[in-house]
Each structure stands twice: as structure tokens, then as C-alpha cells.
Amino acid sequence: MKIAVLNEVSACARNRDILFALEAHAQITVLNLGMAHPDEQPQLTYLQTGIMAGVLLGVGACDLVVGGCGTGQGFLNAALQFPGVCCGLVETPLDAWLFTQINGGNCISLALNKGYGWAGDINLTYIVRELLADPPGRGYPLERARSQRESRDALGGISRAAHRALPDILSSLDRTLLSPIAQSERFMAHLEGDERARRLADIIRGRRVELT
């Protein structure tokens, strides 16, 4: 399982807490592709990390994105603008487990400043533990599993119907949104190393790409 970690500027000091929480789980590969330090350049806002989440999930470059921002609301809304993204706001371990079991989502948004006080890193460790505790989509309560699976499938259909294709979306975005992403070399190197994502990398870098 590949998990991409995408921190934006206001909460990038929590990046090491997220990585530490994920280290305990040997069955995953962690891709740390956002900001890792407050003085790092370029500085990415939740708008950029939301776009990055949509790109990674859209081409299958990862299985799950762990992102967030100060309150978690900004990243949540940015990521949900992209096709195939099922993102939940997760503030407690119970949120994490229920989101995984009922919604079977592929992206979580963490509140990394609001309420992140004493033992915030411990809460994050428990969130990650419950997020990965059981196979996703089993349902809760179990007698609702079939109905919940049908709802997930229907939601996926709504997402496909409501969005344009990723190349078209990225090509229509203002360059001021994409420029910081193009300068984020860890992220871009990962895209350009993945054959499925190279076309999107070209669009992000501003190269001319034929849309079909």
C-alpha cells in the first residue's frame, strides 16, 4: 500500500509527526511529497496540496493520501474538486476507523493546528493505527455493509459524471496555482518517474500537451 503525505505551509511542522505515526506500519510505503519544513521552498498552500492529491489518486500513483491544513477544512474542499477523490475530515481515531469501514475513502484531511495541543502527536498515532487497522469498506454495522457498498459505488459514478478529465482540468487552471507545484521537485520527480503521470507532469510544468 502506497500512502502519500502532503503537508501545506501552515501545518508542515507536523510532517514529522505524521511520518512517525506511519513508521509503525511495515506494510506500507510512504511517499513524503509535500512540505517537510516551514522554511522549505516552494511554499504550498492547501490549494496546491489538494491539486496534488487529485493528480496522485487520479493516475493511481498512490492508494491513499494523508493531507490536511490548519483546520482540515481547506484541504478537504480542495481535494474534493477532483474526480475519484473520496476525502474525509478525520479528527479522532474513531473518525478514522468509521471513515475507512463505511466510506472506504482514499484521502483523509487532518486538522493540524486547531486543537493540536498537548498529546496531539499521540492522537495522530492512534488515528493512523485505526485508519490502517482493518481492510477498508467492510461496513459498519455489518448488516449495513451491502447498502454502504452500493452507496460508495453510486458516489463514484456521481464523481465521474460531475468532473472533466484530469488533463482538461489541469490545463484550465491558472498558472499561479500550478507554478509552486511545478517547483516542488520531490513531487514532480515522482510524477515524471511514473509513466501514467508524465502527461500530467508536462501540463503542470506548462509544456504544450495535446488534449484528447
What average pLDDT does range 158-165 have in this prediction?
95
Give the residue among 76, 108, 82, 73 at the shortest CA–CA distance from 170: 82
User: What integer pLDDT is reported at residue 200 of this predicted model?
Assistant: 96
* Helix axes of 46-58 and 198-205: crossing angle, nearest 10 degrees: 150
User: What integer pLDDT is reported at residue 207 of this predicted model?
Assistant: 82
Tell me: the pLDDT tens digits for 13-56? 999 999 999 999 999 999 999 999 999 999 999 999 999 999 99
Tell me: the pLDDT tens digits for 106-151? 999 999 999 999 999 999 999 999 999 999 999 999 999 999 999 9
For residue 210, pLDDT over 70 is answered with no
Alpha-carbon distance of 69 to 12, in angstroms, equals 8
pTM: 0.95
Helix (H) or strand (E) holding 159: helix 145-162
What average pLDDT does range 185-196 have in this prediction?
94
Alpha-carbon distance of 120 to 189, in angstroms, equals 32
Alpha-carbon distance of 155 to 7, in angstroms, equals 27
User: What integer pLDDT is reported at residue 212 of this predicted model?
Assistant: 59
Q: Which three cell numbers stand for residue 93?
A: 481515531
Mean pLDDT of the chain: 96
